[in-house]
Structure 1
Amino acid sequence: MALKRMDNIGIVVEDLEVTIDFFRELGLELEGRATIEGEWAGRVSGLGDQHVEIAMMRTPDGHSRLELSRFLTPRVVEDHRSAPVNALGYLRVMFTVDNIDETLERLRASGAQLVGEVVDYKDVYRLCYIRGPEGLLIGLAQELT
């Protein structure tokens, strides 16, 4: 049996509304919101009794999704938001944009901060990392071809 697709990437946040607004500004669409709780959810996650608010964000092409989760119970136990780009584990999400300079300008108004600088990679991409809401590390790429 073959792998069919990647459904989504999950990110745990404290402020769901601010994070939704930020990813909307980036260009993702809010696909839906839900509350996840109950015995079945605890069996899947291994957390037992849980109560989580989620928002599913979709890229404009409809192929990729970002699941934003705000845990009400149990409480968050780790915080990796300030980890540097060489930390072990999940690192960042990378999005391709039409114009990196315009995107940066829009996202700065929403509190994004450039991590390093915008660089050209072999005349193929312009790339940068930003810190978004709650310090989330996000990559931006602009195809130059």
Structure 2
Amino acid sequence: MKVQRMDHVGVIVNDLPAAKAFFLELGLEVIREVDVEGEWVERIIGLTDVRETVVMLKVPGGEANLELVKFYMPLDEKGIQPSFANTLGIRHIAFAVEDIEGITAKLKNKGAKLFGEITNYKDMYKLCYVRGPEGIIVELAEKIEETEVQ
């Protein structure tokens, strides 16, 4: 018995079009979008009267996918709870990128916010955290080539 690979990360959202647009802007691609309901999903996730839409996205050339889920039933009465980088639990999704400055500028034009600034980590990576729709936290990491450091 062993884990073979990471398949996907699921993110529950309220505004599916906004979340989908954010990740498409980041460069992910839609694999499929499907409405889900019925006893089979209820048995898997332990909820009743489930009605949801699932958008599965992929990173070009990557193996793991991102699943965005909008629940129409049952609803979460608490709504979106603000979180910070140090809040316990799963907190962010990290992507390796090219042209971190260009990507962050594009995302900021679409309403995303940088937590702080793009930072050079030991001349190995440029790193930053971006908050997207509904408080989704994304870490961007651009590998610094040795020629850039010299």
> TM-score range, shorter-chain basis?
over 0.9
4+ long deviations beyond 6 Å: none
Q: Is the 8 A contact 1:81 1:137 kept in 2?
A: no
- Aligned partner of 1:126 in structure 2 is 126
Deviations 1:72-122 (A, max 9, x none): 000024455521110111110001110110001111111110011111111
The alignment's TM-score, normalised by the length of structure 1, stands at 0.95
**Cα distance in 1 between the residues matched to 2:40 and 2:67:** 19
What's the C-alpha RMSD, in Å, of the aligned pairs? Answer: 1.2
Q: Is the 8 A contact 2:80 2:134 kept in 1?
A: no
Distance 1:123 1:96, change over 3 A: same
Q: Is the 8 A contact 2:83 2:135 kept in 1?
A: no
- Aligned partner of 1:24 in structure 2 is 24
- Aligned partner of 1:2 in structure 2 is 2
- Aligned partner of 2:148 in structure 1 is none
Count of aligned positions: 145
The alignment's TM-score, normalised by the length of structure 2, stands at 0.92
Q: Which consecutive unaligned segments of at least 5 residues does structure 2 have? A: 146-150
Over alpha carbons, which structure has the higher Rg? 2
> Shift of residue 62 of structure 1?
3.6
Distance 1:116 1:95, change over 3 A: same
